[in-house]
Structure formats: structure tokens, C-alpha cells
């Protein structure tokens, strides 16, 4: 279904008319509409519309400026809605239908009743009982927030009152004011924030979370010792359970320095990228002073349609997993696990059947780390719908199989890789996972990479002791297997047993790996290497090219690839992003030059401002771009998520 047209609205509207302004009832159900199809400029011409049916479409949100001020009946059943706050634009709404939206929870029902006090029916049921519940909750929360305000202000001296209220009160209220069951905490914290902001505004005090303390801590992170994953500190014993929020560092008009770095043929054009957002959304206790939480992994959500691209990225570090809209820089969702330290995230997309019998695509996010647990997150509803007790030691990385949407690999410090089938969720969105295979390693596995040309048959892993490959075919009898082949990068050299901490396929044949040689990234051929192995258990890779990278001796800078564009990405210890257009390199006739190829471009660290000063240096642990290379996300050792956009 494409964008709506005036002709279609007149065909589906009642009474029949050649003027949109006379239509009172409109049926747009079952048209496979997406949110972007609802054109506010067109729909606002329906000045007399009272009844609108948007059921059985694919809407994720409602535009907040539709202008339907007379709307009294709205049907949005069987969509993909994940938020209800846009409904406040319909102040005269009396009947609302939201059944079959799997991402909406009881908290959203309460929000609806609060936002639309004229509602009489919700999902065909009388709304008065829910409205009474909301009134009681609202009355109690208002009383508690007001008492908290009075207590808070009484502890401040006159000279510090305004400053303290600006910086601390809203955060303090969201953190400390509690009422009702935990299942309603999303609604209660949402209301606590609104009430506390209204109190501050009524006192003519504006809240600015980014106020700088008098003595900010050192913002630079370049002189911190590089911690190994297993040696990371645990979060505080009793972290605060704050609502999802975004901390943004403002940046001066940063330029992309370094620009193009000419390749051997001098023909690579520089990609034009600009820094868009800098976020501190993983801070311990939501503190703006936290410039130390290490961020380790990120992944873009799979696109919902073939040929489309995603601008939603999941990031992990500390005790939090965040889901961010790269275009706006808004943290859409935030999941916290007190006592956890997340090291890895991975997406899959399942086709689930709702209670009404409708098939819906559902993105599932897996997150894992220090505790050896895999949490399967219902992102849009904001809760964990399954926990796999996968390993007794920390999980370094995980990935879903591209061949089977429910198959998940986990790699742990217990020197095991396990293949799980997470199964399909039941009607309560709960998972029951089963173990399929156990792969033993001789050293700690750091990166996992299903072989692009045969992902259901072979798995590559970059480990502390090198690069290994396993047979993962499920039609084989052994359920516990040892490494089938070990790959070496320089036969007879000390480099053969070195750590491989970066591993990804550039295309179905070419592998990019890092760690086997100091200051370089290796491009090698899977097809030629595997084809020439014979019966050997140790095989030298067929090197196609080497890429020049930072000469640092520090480890755990993970590389990534953008296969559709032939691009390799890697961060470094100075905050830079190294970008290589390897499709251009691989088109050169053999033999390729022995010297490492220069990067196509180096994006310099833009030095954003935090706590009143520039964050001058930081380590970029990982860099990931979406499939169309329109957005690039870099994670740092200094609790900053940096998002770049392509011009």
C-alpha cells in the first residue's frame, strides 16, 4: 500500500461526498498501511471526521499532528503500536479499540485513561473502572511527589535552592517515589516525572539534567588502563531503578577530519559523514558524571521489509541495554538488569501468531554478559520474556544464525560455544529454549561468525588463541564437538597463535579478521582456504590483502563489515573510526601489493562536550553501520554512544 490519496478517502468515506470536509466516517482497515502512509496534510482536511477505522494494518506509531479534533471513535486493532501518547491529540475520543497490538501492556491502558478522560469504552469494555484506578493512582502519586518536593526543598539553603532544584529534583522524584505494584511501574514513573516537572515549572524553575558540577571529574579516558572483559568491575550492589532516559553530550560544529586517505590507486572517494548525537544513556544510576562505563557491543535491528533499512540500534554496556533511534538520537527503550555487565547484543525476527490468529513480525533482542545469562527482550513492551541460564561464566559474545531465526550461539569464558534453539514464544510471550550443540574451545572465544556461504554447516570463532572452525550441522550424531580446523595467518610464525578479536565476512568469500598481526587487518579467502585444507587440522589462510590499522598493542577493538557496500569498520584507542572500501581493493588484479593498504577514510574523534569540558580522547571499542550505510554507531570506553550520519 502506498501513500493515501484523496480519491481513496472519498471512496472509503461516509457519507459519500466529493469533499473531504464532509466525511464523518472513514474505513481504512486492512490496507497494510505503515505509519508513514498517514499523511497529516491530507488527513487534516477531514475536518468533520468522527469515526476512523485503522484496524488490521502495520502501524507502529500514529503521527502526532493528524488534526482530527472532532474524532469520537478510533479503531486501531491488530497493528504494531508500541506507544499510546499520540492519542492525546484526540481530546473528544469516546471509544477506542487497541486489541491485537502485542507490544502494548497494562501500563498503556492506564496511560490511555489518563490522556483521554472522555473515553467511555476501551476494547469494547466500559472504561470507568480503569479511569477510577487511574484517578486513585494519580491522586496518591501527586500527594507523594508533593511531599517529596516539600522535603527536598526544606533541606536546601536559599542560595542553592534554584540550582539544586534545576539539577536534582525530577531525577530524585523518579528514583524515590514509589507506589503500586511493580507491573505498573512504567505508568507510575511516567506520571511521577510529569508531576515533578509541573511542580518545578510552577516554581519557575527549569530542570536541566546536564548542569555541570563545580569540580567535574577528568573527562579524558585515554590514560585509563585497558580492562579485559572478565576483569570489568560489577555495577554497584544496589543500583537505582530509574526510568529510561537519554543523556546527550552537545558537540561543537565538529568536522570530519582525516578526510579521504588515498588508496593505492587513488580512486576511492570519501564518504561524507557527520557526527549527529552523543549519548550517555548507559550511566550508572543515570548520573551525568559517569564517563567511565565501558560500552561493548551494538547491533542494528533487522529491517522489516526486503530492501528497506533500519535506523534503530541496540547498544549494551554496564547494567543497561538501550535501543536508540539514530535519526533523532532518542532512546526509545532501556532495559536494566541490576548486577549485570552486558557484553553483547543480537537481534532476530520471528513471525508470531497473535491470540486473534494474525501473523505478526516481531523483533527479539538477545543480551548477555557477566552473569552467563541470556535475556530475551520484548523491546517495545519493555520487559524480559525469557532467560537462558547458558553458562556458569561470563558470555563474551552471542549471535543468531542467519539460516535459522530461532538458533542462537553463545560463547563464554568457560571455553564453550553453545547452540540454542530459543523456540517460538507462547501466547504470554514466554520462551522455552533447548540446547542443540556444545562446541569446545581451547581458549576463550571472543567473536562468532557463521560462514556466509554455509551458515548452517560451519561456524568461525575468533579466540584468545587464534581462529577456529566447527562443524555445526545438526544432522550429525555428535552433540559435543571439538574444533575441526584451526586457521593460522603466518605459517611458522609466532603470530599463528595470536588472539583474533575481530572477525566478520565482507561477502560470501572474503573474511576480515584482526589481531593476528600488529597494526593490520587481514582480508582472506574462505573459499580458497577451505578448498585447499585437505585433511589438515591446521591450515594457513589464503591472504588476499592486509589493511593498515592502528599500531596499538591494546586488544578487544572489534571490527565490523557492511557487506552490501563492501566496507570494513574499526575503532581505535584515540577515538577514531577507520573506514575501508575493500570492494575497490579486491577488484585490483592479483597479485595485490604486499604492503598494508591505507584506509579509505579516518573519522577523527569530534570531541563532544560533557561536564563542561571536551572529551578529548577515548577508546572506540566497536563500530557498526546499518545495511545502507546511512548511520554509523560507535561505542566508547567513556560511556558515550556516538552516532554518525551520512550526508
- Which regions of 520-630 does DSSP assign to beta strands (E)? 520-525, 538-540, 542-548, 560-562, 567-571, 577-581, 601-603, 609-610, 613-614, 620-625
Higher pLDDT, 213 or 132: 132
Residue 97 has pLDDT above 50, yes or no: yes
Q: How confident is the model at residue 250 (pLDDT cuts 50, 70, 90)?
A: very low
d(CA 140, CA 133): 11
Q: How confident is the model at residue 429 (pLDDT cuts 50, 70, 90)?
A: confident
Residue 265 lies in a domain: no
**478 & 333 share domain:** yes
pTM value is 0.63
Residue 241 lies in a domain: no
Residue 250 lies in a domain: no
In the 3-class helix/strand/coil scheme, how is 158-210 assigned residue by residue? CCCHHHHHHHHHHHHHHHHCCCCCHHHHHHHHHHHHHHHHHHHHHCCCCCCCC
Q: Helix 128-154 vs helix 185-202: angle between axes, to the nearest 10 degrees?
A: 50
Q: How confident is the model at residue 541 (pLDDT cuts 50, 70, 90)?
A: very high
Residue range of the domain that includes 440: 278-284+292-646
- Going from the C-alpha of 281 to that of each of 189, 209, 319, 336, 608, the distances in angstroms are 18, 13, 11, 11, 15
Residue 332 has pLDDT above 80, yes or no: yes
**34 & 145 share domain:** no
In this prediction, residue 278 carries a pLDDT of 93
| Boundary-marking domain end, from 123, 156, 173 | 123
Q: How confident is the model at residue 357 (pLDDT cuts 50, 70, 90)?
A: low
**107 & 196 share domain:** no
First to last CA, the chain: 29
Q: Give the mean pLDDT of 242-260.
A: 37
Residue 140 has pLDDT above 90, yes or no: no
| Boundary-marking domain end, from 203, 220, 254 | 203
Report for 237-251, 277-291, 398-412, 511-525: range of highest mean pLDDT: 398-412
**138 & 116 share domain:** no
Higher pLDDT, 542 or 157: 542
> Cell 570492494 belongs to which residue?
583
**361 & 383 share domain:** yes
In this prediction, residue 275 carries a pLDDT of 93
DSSP string, 458-507: EEEEEETTEEEEEE--TTSS-SEE--SEEEESSTTSGGGG----EEEESS
Q: What are the cell numbers at 632?
A: 554509523
Residue 315 has pLDDT above 90, yes or no: yes
Residue 611 lies in a domain: yes
pLDDT per position as a tens digit, 39-84: 888 998 999 999 999 999 989 889 888 889 889 999 999 988 888 9
Residue 524 has pLDDT above 50, yes or no: yes
**118 & 134 share domain:** no
**192 & 77 share domain:** no
CATH number of the domain residue 101 falls in: 3.80.10.10
Residue 255 has pLDDT above 90, yes or no: no
Q: How confident is the model at residue 254 (pLDDT cuts 50, 70, 90)?
A: very low
> Cell 531503578 belongs to which residue?
241
288 Cβ partners below 8 Å, 6+ apart? Answer: 209, 210, 211, 247, 280, 610, 611
Radius of gyration (Cα) for the chain, nearest Å? 27
In this prediction, residue 259 carries a pLDDT of 46
**62 & 189 share domain:** no
In this prediction, residue 572 carries a pLDDT of 94
Higher pLDDT, 364 or 181: 364
225 Cβ partners below 8 Å, 6+ apart? Answer: none
Q: How confident is the model at residue 13 (pLDDT cuts 50, 70, 90)?
A: very high
Q: How many CB atoms lie within 10 A of CB 285?
A: 16
Residue 473 has pLDDT above 90, yes or no: yes
Identify the burial level of 428 via C-beta atoms within 10 angstroms of its C-beta, where 0-12 means exposed, 13-18 middle and 19 or more buried: exposed
d(CA 292, CA 290): 6
Q: What are the cell numbers at 457?
A: 554447516
Residue 248 lies in a domain: no
pLDDT per position as a tens digit, 579-634: 999 988 888 877 777 789 999 999 999 888 877 778 877 899 999 999 999 999 99
In this prediction, residue 355 carries a pLDDT of 61
Residue 238 lies in a domain: no
CB contact at 8 A, 436 and 457: no
CATH number of the domain residue 358 falls in: 2.130.10.10
Bond into 591 cis (ω within 30): yes
CB contact at 8 A, 548 and 576: no
**562 & 588 share domain:** yes
Q: How confident is the model at residue 101 (pLDDT cuts 50, 70, 90)?
A: confident
Bond into 418 cis (ω within 30): no
Q: Give the mean pLDDT of 171-184.
A: 81
**Of the candidate ranges 119-128, 268-277, 435-444, the one whose mean pLDDT is the lowest:** 268-277
Residue 261 lies in a domain: no
Residue 493 has pLDDT above 60, yes or no: no
**85 & 150 share domain:** no
Residue 251 has pLDDT above 50, yes or no: no
| Boundary-marking domain end, from 162, 182, 203 | 203
Residue 229 has pLDDT above 80, yes or no: no
**192 & 329 share domain:** no
pLDDT per position as a tens digit, 381-417: 677 888 999 999 999 999 999 999 999 999 999 999 9
**309 & 330 share domain:** yes
Higher pLDDT, 206 or 489: 489
Q: What are the cell numbers at 88?
A: 492525546
Q: Name the domain count of the chain.
A: 3
pLDDT per position as a tens digit, 17-42: 888 989 999 999 999 899 889 988 89
> Cell 573519522 belongs to which residue?
603
In the 3-class helix/strand/coil scheme, how is 371-436 assigned residue by residue? CCEEEEEECCCCEEEEEEECCCCCEEEEEECCCCCCEEEEEECCCEEEEEECCCCCCCCCCCCEEE
Residue 269 lies in a domain: no
CB contact at 8 A, 612 and 244: no
Amino acid at each position: 500500500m502506498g501513500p493515501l490519496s484523496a480519491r481513496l478517502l472519498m471512496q472509503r468515506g461516509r457519507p459519500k461526498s466529493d469533499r473531504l470536509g464532509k466525511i464523518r466516517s472513514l474505513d481504512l482497515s486492512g490496507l497494510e498501511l505503515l505509519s508513514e502512509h498517514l499523511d497529516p496534510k491530507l488527513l487534516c482536511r477531514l475536518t468533520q471526521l468522527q469515526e476512523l477505522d485503522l484496524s488490521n494494518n502495520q502501524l507502529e506509531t500514529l503521527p502526532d499532528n493528524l488534526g482530527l479534533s472532532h474524532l469520537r471513535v478510533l479503531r486501531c486493532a491488530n497493528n504494531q503500536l508500541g506507544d499510546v501518547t499520540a492519542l492525546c491529540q484526540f481530546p473528544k475520543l469516546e471509544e477506542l479499540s487497541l486489541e491485537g497490538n502485542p507490544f502494548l501492556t497494562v501500563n498503556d491502558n492506564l496511560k490511555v485513561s489518563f490522556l483521554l478522560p472522555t473515553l467511555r469504552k476501551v476494547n469494547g469494555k466500559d472504561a470507568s473502572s480503569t479511569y477510577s484506578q487511574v484517578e486513585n493512582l494519580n491522586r496518591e502519586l501527586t500527594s507523594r511527589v508533593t511531599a517529596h518536593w516539600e522535603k527536598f526543598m526544606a533541606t536546601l539553603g536559599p542560595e542553592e535552592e534554584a540550582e539544586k532544584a534545576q539539577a536534582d529534583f525530577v531525577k530524585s522524584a523518579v528514583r524515590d517515589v514509589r507506589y503500586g505494584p511493580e507491573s505498573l511501574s512504567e505508568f507510575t514513573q511516567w506520571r511521577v516525572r510529569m508531576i515533578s516537572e509541573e511542580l518545578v515549572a510552577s516554581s519557575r524553575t527549569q530542570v536541566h539534567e546536564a548542569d555541570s558540577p563545580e569540580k567535574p571529574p577528568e573527562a579524558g579516558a585515554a590514560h585509563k588502563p585497558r580492562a579485559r572483559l572478565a576483569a570489568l568491575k560489577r555495577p554497584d550492589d544496589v543500583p537505582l531503578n530509574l526510568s529510561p532516559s537519554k543523556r546527550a553530550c552537545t558537540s561543537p560544529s565538529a568536522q570530519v577530519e582525516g578526510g579521504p586517505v588515498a588508496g593505492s590507486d587513488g580512486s576511492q572517494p570519501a564518504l561524507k559523514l557527520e557526527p549527529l548525537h552523543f549519548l550517555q544513556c548507559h550511566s550508572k544510576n543515570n548520573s551525568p558524571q559517569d564517563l567511565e562505563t565501558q560500552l561493548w557491543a551494538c547491533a542494528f535491528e533487522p529491517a522489516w521489509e526486503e530492501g528497506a533499512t533500519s535506523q534503530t540500534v541496540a547498544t549494551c554496556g554496564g547494567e543497561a541495554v538501550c535501543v536508540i533511534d539514530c535519526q533523532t538520537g532518542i532512546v526509545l527503550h532501556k532495559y536494566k538488569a541490576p548486577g549485570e555487565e552486558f557484553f553483547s547484543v543480537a537481534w532476530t525476527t520471528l513471525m508470531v501468531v497473535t491470540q486473534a490468529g494474525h501473523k505478526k513480525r516481531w523483533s527479539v533482542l538477545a543480551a548477555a554478559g557477566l552473569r552467563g545469562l541470556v535475556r530475551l527482550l520484548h523491546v517495545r513492551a519493555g520487559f524480559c520474556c525469557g532467560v537462558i541460564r547458558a553458562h556458569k561464566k561470563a558470555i563474551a559474545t552471542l549471535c543468531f544464525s542467519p539460516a535459522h531465526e530461532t538458533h542462537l550461539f553463545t560463547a563464554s569464558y568457560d571455553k564453550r560455544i553453545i547452540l540454542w534453539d530459543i523456540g517460538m514464544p507462547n501466547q504470554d510471550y514466554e520462551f522455552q529454549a533447548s540446547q542443540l550443540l556444545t562446541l569446545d574451545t581451547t581458549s576463550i572465544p571472543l567473536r562468532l561468525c557463521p560462514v556466509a556461504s554455509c551458515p548452517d554447516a560451519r561456524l568461525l570463532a575468533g579466540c584468545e588463541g587464534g581462529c577456529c572452525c566447527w562443524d555445526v550441522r545438526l544432522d550429525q550424531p555428535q552433540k559435543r564437538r571439538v574444533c575441526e580446523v584451526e586457521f593460522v595467518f603466518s605459517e611458522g610464525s609466532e603470530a599463528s597463535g595470536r588472539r583474533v578479536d575481530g572477525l566478520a565476512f565482507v561477502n560470501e568469500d572474503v573474511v576480515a579478521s584482526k589481531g593476528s598481526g600488529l597494526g593490520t587487518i587481514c582480508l582472506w579467502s574462505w573459499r580458497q582456504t577451505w578448498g585447499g585444507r585437505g585433511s589438515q587440522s591446521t591450515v594457513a589462510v589464503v591472504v588476499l590483502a592486509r589493511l593498515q590499522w592502528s599500531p596499538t598493542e591494546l586488544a578487544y577493538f572489534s571490527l565490523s563489515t557492511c557487506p552490501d557496500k563492501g566496507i570494513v569498520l574499526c575503532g581505535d584507542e584515540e577515538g577514531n573510526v577507520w573506514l575501508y572500501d575493500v570492494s575497490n581493493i579486491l577488484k585490483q588484479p592479483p597479485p595485490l601489493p604486499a604492503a598494508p593498504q591505507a584506509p579509505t577514510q579516518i573519522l577523527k574523534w569530534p570531541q563532544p562536550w560533557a561536564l563542561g569540558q571536551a572529551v578529548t580522547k577515548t577508546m572506540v571499542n566497536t563500530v557498526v553501520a546499518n545495511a545502507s550505510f546511512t548511520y554509523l554507531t560507535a561505542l566508547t570506553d567513556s560511556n558515550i554512544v556516538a552516532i554518525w550520519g551520512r550526508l
